[in-house]
């Protein structure tokens, strides 16, 4: 079974080939998804190996053994286009994922940002990019609630993702127990209610986070933030796309603002002059002084 799973995606010999000459099967599949009505998902920037593995898994799960019949299925079946899209953009997350990262946020980053906001009487603004089902921005809301609740501090937290389904789950704010393993007991007792086999966030926390549909690769950036978490999103992107995203995030941060990447992610070399690393293990960076670029507004959406 395992060897079957790790077998690379290969074209089967002897099949009718519906592909244009010179275009690989995976690229053809990507084009079908991109041109489908299912989404504006831009696959061009995504890492080839990552895409290949997921496409191969999807082909196996419909009981096919090669890309050619799958391409035909994909072109005829919108449901399959949606399923492939969901497979390509997995939404795995956890509350307080990598708890030691949240320890550094608690001990160092949030107190510094809170002090800055107090001094300038401005909002503390937090952006979770690729927020999946909301676990990450809600973890930040829980943290801020327990750290800064007594203070007269204005707070704005947003979560953005490319997946409408993930955002719907995020807005619902109800989770299975396995997503909550790292939530401290007192936060669990205080801010969740158990309903229909799910732990649901109380309104106070739900209302602290706003969610927006946003593709970090192709939509206009629209939010300025003091702290940006973009964890386990860059891993899907090519180096060129990582550079573009990091430049966008640098433009969204003021000098001294913080960026947190995932544990398996790092700054591409060309972006190292934009940030200094303040915690290499937790992948926490601080924006260096530089020209702030204007960010266009996303029409019709409040920026808080």
* Stretch of residues binding ligand SAM (CB under 6 A), selected from 54-62, 65-73, 162-170, 194-202: 162-170
Q: Determine contact, residues 209/157, Cβ cutoff 8 Å.
A: yes
In the region spanning residues 260 to 299, those forming contacts with ligand SAM, defined by CB under 6 A, are 262
CA–CA separation, 289 and 77 (whole Å): 50
Asked if 51 is part of the footprint of ligand SAM (rule: CB under 6 A), the reply reads no
Q: Could you give phi then psi for residue 56, rounded to 5 degrees?
A: -60, -40
Of 32, 39, 81, 89, the residue at the interface with ligand SAM (CB under 6 A) is 89
Contact residues for 278 (Cβ-Cβ < 8 A; gap 6+):
108, 258, 284, 285, 286
Q: Determine contact, residues 235/262, Cβ cutoff 8 Å.
A: yes
* Stretch of residues binding ligand SAM (CB under 6 A), selected from 32-40, 230-238, 251-259, 263-271: 230-238
Asked if 242 is part of the footprint of ligand SAM (rule: CB under 6 A), the reply reads no
If 0-12 CB within 10 Å is exposed, 13-18 middle and 19+ buried, where does residue 4 land? exposed
* Stretch of residues binding ligand SAM (CB under 6 A), selected from 56-64, 84-92, 106-114, 201-209: 84-92
Asked if 233 is part of the footprint of ligand SAM (rule: CB under 6 A), the reply reads yes
Q: Determine contact, residues 94/183, Cβ cutoff 8 Å.
A: no
Asked if 117 is part of the footprint of ligand SAM (rule: CB under 6 A), the reply reads no
* Stretch of residues binding ligand SAM (CB under 6 A), selected from 75-83, 126-134, 146-154, 270-278: 126-134
Sequential DSSP letters for 212-264: EE--TTTSPP----SEEEE-SSGGGB-HHHHHHHHHHHHHHSPTT-EEEE-TT
Asked if 5 is part of the footprint of ligand SAM (rule: CB under 6 A), the reply reads no
Smallest distance from the beta carbon of 41 to ligand SAM, in angstroms? 8
Asked if 130 is part of the footprint of ligand SAM (rule: CB under 6 A), the reply reads yes
Asked if 58 is part of the footprint of ligand SAM (rule: CB under 6 A), the reply reads no
Count the residues of the shown chain that bind ligand SAM, applying the rule CB under 6 A: 22
CA–CA separation, 144 and 147 (whole Å): 5
Q: What is the layout of strands, in order, in the sheet containing 192-195?
A: 174-175, 198-201, 192-195
Q: Determine contact, residues 3/58, Cβ cutoff 8 Å.
A: no
Smallest distance from the beta carbon of 219 to ligand SAM, in angstroms? 8
* Stretch of residues binding ligand SAM (CB under 6 A), selected from 26-34, 70-78, 88-96, 199-207: 88-96
Asked if 252 is part of the footprint of ligand SAM (rule: CB under 6 A), the reply reads no
Of 163, 234, 252, 253, the residue at the interface with ligand SAM (CB under 6 A) is 163
Query: Residues interacting with ligand SAM, by CB under 6 A?
Result: 89-93, 97, 130-132, 136, 161-163, 166, 215-217, 231-233, 236, 262
């Amino acid at each position: 079974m395992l060897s079957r799973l790790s077998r690379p995606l290969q074209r089967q010999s002897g099949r009718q080939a519906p592909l244009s000459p010179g275009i690989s099967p995976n690229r053809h599949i990507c084009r079908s998804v991109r041109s489908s009505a299912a989404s504006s998902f831009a696959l061009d920037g995504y890492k080839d190996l990552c895409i290949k593995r997921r496409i191969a898994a999807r082909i196996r799960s419909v009981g096919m053994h090669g890309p050619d019949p799958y391409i035909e299925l994909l072109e005829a079946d919108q449901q399959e286009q949606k399923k492939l899209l969901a497979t390509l953009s997995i939404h795995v997350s956890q509350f307080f994922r990598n708890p030691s990262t949240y320890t550094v946020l608690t001990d160092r980053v949030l107190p510094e940002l809170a002090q800055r906001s107090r001094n300038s009487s401005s909002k503390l603004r937090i952006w979770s990019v690729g927020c999946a089902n909301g676990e990450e921005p809600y973890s930040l809301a829980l943290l801020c609630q327990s750290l800064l609740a007594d203070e007269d501090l204005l707070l704005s937290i947003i979560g953005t993702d490319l997946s409408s389904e993930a955002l719907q789950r995020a807005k619902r704010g109800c989770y299975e127990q396995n997503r909550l393993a790292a939530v401290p007991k007192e936060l669990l007792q205080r801010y969740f209610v158990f309903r229909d086999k799910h732990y649901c966030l109380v309104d106070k926390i739900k209302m602290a986070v706003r969610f927006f549909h946003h593709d970090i690769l192709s939509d206009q950036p629209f939010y300025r933030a003091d702290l940006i978490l973009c964890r386990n999103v860059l891993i899907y992107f090519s180096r060129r796309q990582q550079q573009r995203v990091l430049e966008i995030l640098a433009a969204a941060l003021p000098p001294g603002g913080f960026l947190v990447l995932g544990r398996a992610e790092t700054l591409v070399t060309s972006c190292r002059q934009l940030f200094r690393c303040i915690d290499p293990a937790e992948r926490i960076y601080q924006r260096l002084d530089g020209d702030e670029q204007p960010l266009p507004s996303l029409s019709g959406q409040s920026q808080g």
